């Protein structure tokens, strides 16, 4: 007997909310593990089995476009170390704290002694925003979903998964809906997410802006008037050397709009103050002259191993920028050198994210070593690998 959903219509609506237009989900096995499935039509085909307990799906908290419609907290009692009701007041408190922040909330006893708090937005949001919301209210030892701000570059990456309220296939117990509040108007009213393509592809212009936004605003929140200007300065510091003026203004506008309820300054005045500070803090630009690698360096570039999802020609071009920067610094009497991702991106005409992947590959290959990681307003300091310093 189904002890979770009162009707198939309610269950069908819940599936639509948690699937959130994803092109895949997962089936739970009898041992509790999950098997990813790309045939979402099976959710309808095996609807009776889900309702009656023969089948249980799990859903991914982050879509291939790095957006999400829901987040969750997992109050885990898998090892049975907590008393049956230990997590309930904590879960109830988290459920209550989401009131007014999300359109719909569920409080679920996922299995005896374990609880899920799931919250849904009316519209898709950047996964980083919902992750931040749930992380901030998560007690110690409680997992927050999504577990990532964005998916990795691996075309097969799917992110974190949460079991749909239903029958646990290993334990044989039913999830129980303790409380539900609010109501998303259209459970399936989201744009379907396209599957991630294999191999290399540049992110969209909007995707690059959102990536920059997350980098610049992560952890910067305001809870009342009087906090905005200090936050503005921190955002400028993170964008310094990374963003064009238009990109920086786009990021700040998105951040201001997200916190508009706690900011008393009108948007246009706030944008003007941001631009004034950004222009004042704009860093000096040092032009790195092009330079040919030495014969031994050219030979090393020609023998680079293939790295998945990193085009050989783009990686080689990035390494040439690294070598030219090292040569420029050596001419100034420095053994180490400074290099920002923005410089590489500008030189190669690519995104900051792509530049980051090329530098990561160079580090893995031992071409460069980080001496000091870049932080607010500063580029990273590198040292060339011994084999390449010839």
The class that CATH gives domain 8-182 is alpha beta
CA distance linking residue 176 with residue 331, whole number of Å? 69
Rounded CA Rg of the chain: 25
What CA–CA distance (Å, rounded) separates 321 from 318? 5
Task: Locate the domains of the chain by residue range.
Answer: 8-182, 205-281, 295-384
The answer to whether domain 8-182 and domain 295-384 are alike in fold is no
CA distance 382 to 216: 23
**For residue 63, how far is the Cα from the chain centroid?**
10
Query: Is-contact 302 312, C-beta < 8 A?
Result: no
Sheet holding 161-163, edge to edge: 34-37, 25-28, 57-60, 161-163
In 3-state terms, the chain is what percent helix, strand and coil (to 5)?
Answer: 40, 20, 45
- Checking if the pLDDT of 293 tops 70, the result is yes
Mind listing the pLDDT tens digit for each residue in 118-177? 999 988 889 999 999 999 999 988 999 999 999 887 778 899 999 999 999 999 999 999
Pairing of strands 104-111, 114-126: antiparallel
For residue 325, the model assigns a pLDDT of: 93
Examine the pLDDT at 284 and tell me if it is beyond 90. Answer: no
Using DSSP's 3-state secondary structure scheme, residue 176 falls into strand
Distances (CA, A) of 122 to 19, 64, 183: 14, 19, 9
Model-wide pTM > 0.85:
no
Q: What percent of the chain has pLDDT over 70?
A: 93
Higher pLDDT among residues 371 and 374, named by residue: 371
pLDDT of residue 13: 94
Q: Which CATH number fits domain 295-384: 3.50.50.60, 1.10.10.10, 3.40.50.261, 1.10.110.30?
A: 1.10.10.10
């Amino acid at each position: 007997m189904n002890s979770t959903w009162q009707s198939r219509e309610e269950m069908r609506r819940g599936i639509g909310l948690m699937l959130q237009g994803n092109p895949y989900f997962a089936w739970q096995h009898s041992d509790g593990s999950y098997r990813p499935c790309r045939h979402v039509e099976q959710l309808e085909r095996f609807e009776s089995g889900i309702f009656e307990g023969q089948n249980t799906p799990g859903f991914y908290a982050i879509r291939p476009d790095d957006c999400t419609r829901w987040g969750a907290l997992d109050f885990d009692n898998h090892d049975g170390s907590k008393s049956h009701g230990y997590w309930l007041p904590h879960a109830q408190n988290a459920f209550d704290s989401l009131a007014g922040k999300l359109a719909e909330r569920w409080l679920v006893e996922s299995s005896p002694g374990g609880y899920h708090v799931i919250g849904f937005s009316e519209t898709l949001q950047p996964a980083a925003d919902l992750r931040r919301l749930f992380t901030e209210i998560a007690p110690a030892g409680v997992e927050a979903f999504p577990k990532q701000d964005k998916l990795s570059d691996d075309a097969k990456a799917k992110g974190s998964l949460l079991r749909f309220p239903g029958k646990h296939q290993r334990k044989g117990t039913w999830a129980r809906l303790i409380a539900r509040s609010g109501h998303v108007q259209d459970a399936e009213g989201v744009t379907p997410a396209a599957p991630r393509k294999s191999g290399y592809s540049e992110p969209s212009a909007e995707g690059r802006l959102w990536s920059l936004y997350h980098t610049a605003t992560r952890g910067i929140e305001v809870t009342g008037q009087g906090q905005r200007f200090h936050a503005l300065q921190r955002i400028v510091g993170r964008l310094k050397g990374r963003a064009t003026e238009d990109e920086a203004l786009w990021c700040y506008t998105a951040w201001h709009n997200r916190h508009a309820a706690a900011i008393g300054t009108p948007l246009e005045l706030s944008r003007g103050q941001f631009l004034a500070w950004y222009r004042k803090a704009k860093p000096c630009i040092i032009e790195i002259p092009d330079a040919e690698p030495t014969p031994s360096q050219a030979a090393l570039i020609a023998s680079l191993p293939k790295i998945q999802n990193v085009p050989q020609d783009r990686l080689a071009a990035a390494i040439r920028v690294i070598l030219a920067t090292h040569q420029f610094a050596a001419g100034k009497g420095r053994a180490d050198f400074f290099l920002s991702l923005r410089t590489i991106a500008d030189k190669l005409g690519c995104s900051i994210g792509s530049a980051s992947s090329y530098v990561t590959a160079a580090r893995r290959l031992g071409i460069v070593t980080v001496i000091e990681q870049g932080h607010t307003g500063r580029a990273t300091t590198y040292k060339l690998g011994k084999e390449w310093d010839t």
